[in-house]
Every structure is written in C-alpha cells, then in structure tokens.
Amino acid sequence: MSIDTALTTPLTKLAAWKALEDHFKKISKQHLRDLFANDPDRGTRLTAEAEGIYLDYSKHRITDETLKLLLQLAEESGLKARLDAMFSGEKINITEKRAVLHVALRAPKGEKIVVDGEDVVPAVHEVLDRMAAFSERIRSGEWKGHTGKPIKNVINIGIGGSDLGPVMAYEALRHYSRRDMTFRFVSNVDGTDFAEATHDLDAEETLFIISSKTFTTLETMTNAHTARDWALKKLGDAKAVAKHFVAVSTNAEEVTKFGIDTANMFGFWDWVGGRYSMDSAIGLSTMLAVGPDNFKKLLAGFHSIDEHFRTAPFEKNLPVLMGLLSVWYNDFFDAQTVAVLPYDQYLKRFPAYLQQLTMESNGKHVTLSGEHVTYETGPIFWGEPGTNGQHSFYQLIHQGTKLIPCDFIGFAKTLNPLGNHHDLLMANVFAQTEALAFGKTAEEVKAEGTPDWLVPHRVFEGNRPTNTILMEELTPEALGKLVALYEHSVFTQGAIWQIDSFDQWGVELGKVLAKRIIGELEGPASGKHDSSTNTLIARYKKQRG
Ligand code: F6P
C-alpha cells in the first residue's frame, strides 16, 4: 500500500485495527501461564534472531492471531512504503521538509543515497576521514595545545542529541576507551555542570568540542562561552582557541562567529535529526575515546541492522516486531510506560539516551495531516541498569496496579570476568522475566506455609510482559546494532501512529518563554504573566538579592 493510501484512512478505521480491538477483548485476560502451558514450544517459537541479536518475545500477552493482526496492521499502515521512502532520501519529515537519513551516516563507501539530486555518501565519508585524522593526531599526542602540551582531557559541550548519544556511547564503550585520557560531558546550563567538569583539569591539556547542530542552543552556547573564558583566563591568549576548541555543527556561519576556524569544524547535515546523530560528527568524542577503528565497527553494527530492517520480512524483522508489540500495549492495554532494563553497568546511560530517542520522536498529538489523534502515541520510557532497579522500583512492576512492559537486555559474555558476578547478574535477568510472566499463585504461597492473612501480600499475579534481548558481548558493533534496533522500532511505531517522528515542535514554547523571562530576571519584571509566574519571578528576584 502506498503512503498516501495508508494515510487517507485514519488508523482506527483500518481493518486490522478494528480486528485488533475485537481480538483484544477476547484475549486480554489470558494468562501467560496458560499460554505457555498450552504451547510447549512457545519459548523457542516466539523468538527472532538477526545480526547477533536474539529477541525472545514469547513472554508477551499475545497469540499467533495477535501477531498476525499486528503484522496486518503494519501492512495496512504502509510501513514498507514509509521505510523505503526514508531509505531513498524522501522528505518524510514533512513539517520541517527534510529527509531523514541517519541510515546514510553508516552506509559503506560506494553505496548511493540521493538527497536533492546529490549522493550524500561521499560527503559522509569525507567527514569520517577528517574525524579519523583529527582523532589520530589527538590520540598520538601530535596535536599540541597552545603551550605545547598534548591533549589529555576532552570535554564535549552539547545538549539533547548533541550530548546524550556521546555520553551514552562513551560510558557503553569505556572498556575500549583510552584510559590515560579524561572524557567529560557538559550539557546543563546550570553552572555547576561546567564547574564540576573542569575544576580539576589543566586548561593547557584540555580540548573542548562544541557540539550543536544549530550552534544557537542557549545551554550549549552559554557553556561554550564560559569554556572560552575559562580557557583564555588560564592560557592568556585569544589564539589558544584554535588549539583548544573544535566545533561539530551544521552551521558554519555561527561557528565562525564564535571564533572557531571552520578548518576545525566537523559538519553534518539537516537530514540528521539531533537524536539520531551519535554516529555523525557528533560522535567525535566517541571516536577520540575508542579510536577510529572501533568507531567504524560501531557504524558497521548500525548498518547491519539498517539492512535487516530494510530487507527482512516483517514477521522476522526485529525492529518491526518490537515496534508492533509496543503499539499493542500502548494502544490496547493502555500501558503508559516502557521500562528499559539493561543488565550491564556500561549501559547505565542507555535508558536516558532512549528517552530522547523515543519520546522526542513519538510524543506527538497530531497526525501527519494535522488531525488530533484519537489514540495514544508514544509511551514514556524509563529505566535503570539491573540489578540496581530490582532493589528500587521493581516492586511496582511486580505487584503494582500498572502494567509496565519491560525490555531486559543482557550479554552472554562479560567484559570484566570477576568470580561468578556475571552468572549472578544473568541469573537475575532470567529470574525477573520468569517471575514477571508467571508470578506466584495464592496456592503456591499457602503451600510454603504462609499464614492466611499474609497470603494476599505475597501473591504475584504475573502476566507482566517482557522482551528479552540477548547478545554475545558488548562490543562497539553490538552497541551500534542495539541503538539501530531501537531507532527503527521507534520508526515503526511512528509509522503506525501516522505521526511525524522526526520533528520536535514541543520543545519550542518553553525556549521562547525562557528567553522572555531572562530579560525580566536581569531587568525590570513585566508583570505580564499569570499570577503564579509573576509571583515566582518576584520571589526569586527578592531571595536572590
Ligand atoms: O531542544 C531540543 C533539541 O532541539 C533536540 O532535538 C536537539 O538534540 C537538542 O535540542 C540540541 O540541539 P543542537 O544540537 O542544535 O544544539
């Protein structure tokens, strides 16, 4: 089905949607205990594997009929046509009139992806080559700071997509990173972030990467100016900027205005969304940390899942399956959130990274044609690494009144073999998904000798759905695959919901109002706000003194 045909029919009028509504009424009360008991092969059958990612989706509240209808929904929604439109450089970000081509960032040399009549792949590789040459110069010590010392500290200044991807990737790939260098990330306009990131660093050995697609973002530009003042105060010469500041941006004009020579600028393009940019030049800090070869492996991982997403039949397509299951809970079970639970300490920033990827993409209230949606769109993503979360919020997931589908992510091999730590960690992954699915009945609790009055408190209803994502080892390639898996799952969901997953108008109003209020904090108050905002501004100014 073409995109246009798919979009002329509102989602809730599609035959598959209506069939899913009826089907939901029939199966919503079915328990995973019964689904497993009646189907001994379920745990091997409802799985999919591609490019080293094993996805077990058997512990979902679905039957074969559910899957059939969800796959039909994907067909009727024109997912294939939308996916092809993205890969071929069509301007599917319709409100910003932009192509959406993060997949081009990891296309191998020689592939061709055309935007506005131009093949963009050569330009991608030109920037990658420049990044690699620069990284080698910094890592080898050939690049010297203003006073002749090699660079030992790298500070990425950026926010949103210009921070969350770099910091997540640095943490995730720390095992592969240069241990004799320090990497820090400053994002918040709260001066504490900058002050703490720099207080123990020597400016003579410090390189700032100013990462901003627009180079106009308030937080980043404020921090960038503070960084320049900090560096110049210590180095005492405006010429030092050339040796201690580089920029990653699409806006050469603003970069020049800031005082960074465009020879020290690494570019990208308007067809890379901020939250999809960690594999563009925005990943410069990642490349500096892990080296160009590992960065290439990261890109190769992304690309392998791009190809899988583009070519695999939907019933075996990991991002499509994950996306459809997310729609199933979000729209039929009315689940409000998804918990992402990586059982790997290196992935501690992965949930935060996914929050922007998923919520800035699919937190939309109108369809592509501007109609208010009549169904739920993007769920809230949240999470923490296991096993820490188990001693915190898992209580609510197990026994609370809210249904929270969870993604468990684990690796067969650890990068830090220490006694039996890894088996203990992974035992918890398997135990949690088992407990969430099957729970513990009142009979089972009683049989343990529990007094009657305590039985209800100790019952686990179970029937809590989970994905288990199992991979061999957290390598740069594996990280690329994992991120691409979620990127394309987000795409799948957005296509079903008929929304623009690539704009972010919802962040604008707050930015505009903040600019207006800054003037009032630094000058006379306008008194033109509502009574609450007026009072808060007045109180702040009084207490601040
Ligand atoms: O405010 C949201 C946002 O526009 C994100 O989409 C983006 O990742 C972030 O701000 C940073 O933008 P920039 O890279 O232009 O500084």
Q: How would you class 68 by CB atoms within 10 Å of its CB: exposed for 0-12, middle for 13-18, buried for 19 or more?
A: middle
Asked if residue 387 has a cis previous peptide bond (ω within 30° of 0), the answer is yes
Measured in angstroms, how far is the CA atom of residue 13 from the centroid of ligand 1? 35
Q: Which of 391, 457, 528, 542 is catalytic?
A: 391
State if residue 462 touches ligand 1 by the CB under 6 angstroms criterion.
no
Measured in angstroms, how far is the CA atom of residue 219 from the centroid of ligand 1? 10
State if residue 213 touches ligand 1 by the CB under 6 angstroms criterion.
yes
Secondary structure in 3-state letters for 436-447: HHHCECHHHHHH
The edge-to-edge listing of strands for the beta sheet with 380-382 is 47-50, 53-56, 466-471, 406-411, 337-342, 380-382
Q: Please give the model's pTM, rounded to 2 decimal places.
A: 0.97
* Mutational pocket test of ligand 1: of 164, 185, 209, 217, the residue with most ligand atoms within 8 Å of the beta carbon: 217
Measured in angstroms, how far is the CA atom of residue 174 from the centroid of ligand 1? 25
199 is catalytic: no
Contact 150, 143 (CB under 8 A): yes
Measured in angstroms, how far is the CA atom of residue 161 from the centroid of ligand 1? 6
CA of 220, closest atom in ligand 1: 16
State if residue 214 touches ligand 1 by the CB under 6 angstroms criterion.
yes
CA distance 162 to 169: 12
State if residue 164 touches ligand 1 by the CB under 6 angstroms criterion.
no
**pLDDT given for residue 8 in this prediction:** 78
Measured in angstroms, how far is the CA atom of residue 485 from the centroid of ligand 1? 22
Contact 357, 490 (CB under 8 A): yes
CA distance 526 to 521: 10
| Buried/exposed code over 147-179 (b: 16+ C-beta within 10 A; e: otherwise) | eeebbbbbbbbbbbbbbbbbbbbbbbbeebbee
State if residue 250 touches ligand 1 by the CB under 6 angstroms criterion.
no
Task: Count CB neighbours of 184 within 10 A.
Answer: 19
511 is catalytic: yes
* Mutational pocket test of ligand 1: of 96, 98, 157, 159, the residue with most ligand atoms within 8 Å of the beta carbon: 159
**pLDDT given for residue 1 in this prediction:** 47
State if residue 92 touches ligand 1 by the CB under 6 angstroms criterion.
no
State if residue 166 touches ligand 1 by the CB under 6 angstroms criterion.
no
* Mutational pocket test of ligand 1: of 213, 269, 507, the residue with most ligand atoms within 8 Å of the beta carbon: 213
Measured in angstroms, how far is the CA atom of residue 467 from the centroid of ligand 1? 30
For residue 98, what are the β-bridge partners? 93
CA of 274, closest atom in ligand 1: 8
State if residue 161 touches ligand 1 by the CB under 6 angstroms criterion.
yes
* Mutational pocket test of ligand 1: of 189, 356, 507, 509, the residue with most ligand atoms within 8 Å of the beta carbon: 507
Q: Which of 360, 384, 477, 487 is catalytic?
A: 360
Count CA atoms closer than 13 A to 322's CA, side-chain side. 28
State if residue 220 touches ligand 1 by the CB under 6 angstroms criterion.
yes
Q: Whose CA is nearest to atom 10 of ligand 1?
A: 160
**pLDDT given for residue 265 in this prediction:** 98
Measured in angstroms, how far is the CA atom of residue 502 from the centroid of ligand 1? 12
Q: Whose CA is nearest to atom 1 of ligand 1?
A: 507
pLDDT tens, per residue, the chain with 545 residues: 445 555 679 999 999 999 999 999 999 999 999 999 999 999 999 999 999 999 999 999 999 999 999 999 999 999 999 999 999 999 999 999 999 999 999 999 999 999 999 999 999 999 999 999 999 999 999 999 999 999 999 999 999 999 999 999 999 999 999 999 999 999 999 999 999 999 999 999 999 999 999 999 999 999 999 999 999 999 999 999 999 999 999 999 999 999 999 999 999 999 999 999 999 999 999 999 999 999 999 999 999 999 999 999 999 999 999 999 999 999 999 999 999 999 999 999 999 999 999 999 999 999 999 999 999 999 999 999 999 999 999 999 999 999 999 999 999 999 999 999 999 999 999 999 999 999 999 999 999 999 999 999 999 999 999 999 999 999 999 999 999 999 999 999 999 999 999 999 999 999 999 999 999 999 999 989 999 999 999 999 999 99
- Closest alpha carbon to 371 in 9, 1, 4: 9
CA distance 487 to 491: 6
Q: Whose CA is nearest to atom 3 of ligand 1?
A: 160
